Structure 1
Amino acid sequence: MTQTEVVPDPDLVLALRALANPIRLQLLSWLREPERNFSLQGAIADPIKVGVCVTHIQAKAGLAQSTVSAYLAELQRAGLVRATRVGKWTHYRRDEQRIARLVAELGQTL
């Protein structure tokens, strides 16, 4: 590698890997407007401030709860969503600051 070559930021690579899966990308997109994209009947927490319960995400996605949880865990490891426990339920919301930094970094990198 020459001095002029730039080594990609490992966090950027992790985020791009997470977004490479179309279902994870769809989940992140849905979480952008939770009140519009999810049936939140019976929600026990504010979907904007706390996030959307995995149960509601799973119902929309039509996938097994374990599959949805695995997809969301990958998005969380990439820093794209934040998880909050409310009782025995986990709620997810987008990390808008991290997403904005990712977009800016992509603009500088590509």
Structure 2
Amino acid sequence: MPPRVTVDEAPAGLTDDTLEVFKALSNPVRLQILQWLREPRAHFDAERAIADPDEVGVCVSHITEKAGLAQSTVSSYMSVLERAQLVTSTRIGKWTHYRRNEERIAAVVDSLGQSL
């Protein structure tokens, strides 16, 4: 049986931050949400939005509706994506809006390309 690799022995370039991203993307629903947020106007009804989905993001209630999951589940998923810095959140009144963090995503892709 091959030896197990620990986080301390992870390949160069794969930092704890990068591993956090992999954990966030390991769930197919979180990955799907991130893909929807890439083109929010194509996947969410912009007319129902209280803010510009491109500038501010998509309301968690709209993500919940599209995903067909409980609000608490979607909020948990969004927290994981936010901890991995793949999305940012903005509060407008009682609503939280999420949008992709394109700079972070590009940095992760670049880091991955250099590591593998």
What TM-score results when the alignment is normalised by the length of structure 1? 0.92
How many residues are paired up?
A: 107
Secondary structure of the residue aligned to 1:46 is coil
SS in 2 for 1:44: coil
Distance in 2 between residues matched to 1:108 and 1:84, nearest whole Å: 32
Distance in 2 between the 1:41 and 1:6 partners?
46
Query: How far apart, in 1, do the equivalents of 2:47 and 2:68 lie?
Result: 17
Taking only aligned residues, the RMSD between alpha carbons, in angstroms, comes to 1.5
Unaligned runs of 5+ residues in structure 2 are: 6-10
Report the residue type matching 2:55 in the other structure: K
Match of 1:93 among 96, 99, 103: 99
In 1, Cα distance between the equivalents of 2:87 and 2:78? 8
After superposing the two structures, state which structure 1 stretch, 39-48 or 77-86, moved more: 39-48
Residue 8 of structure 1 aligns to a residue in which SS? coil
Deviation at 1:39, TM superposition (A): 2.1
Equivalent-residue separation in structure 2 for 1:55 and 1:34 (angstroms):
14
Greater Cα shift, 41-50 or 86-95: 41-50
Q: Which runs of 4+ in 1 moved over 6 A?
A: none
1:20 aligned residue: 26
2:86 maps to 1:80: yes
Over the matched positions of the two proteins, sequence identity in percent amounts to 58
CA distance in 2 between counterparts of 1:63 and 1:40 reads 20
Contact 2:86 2:100 in 1 (8 A): yes
Q: Which runs of 5+ in 1 are unaligned?
A: none
1:68 paired to 2:74? yes
Q: Distance in 2 between matches of 1:109 and 1:9?
A: 10
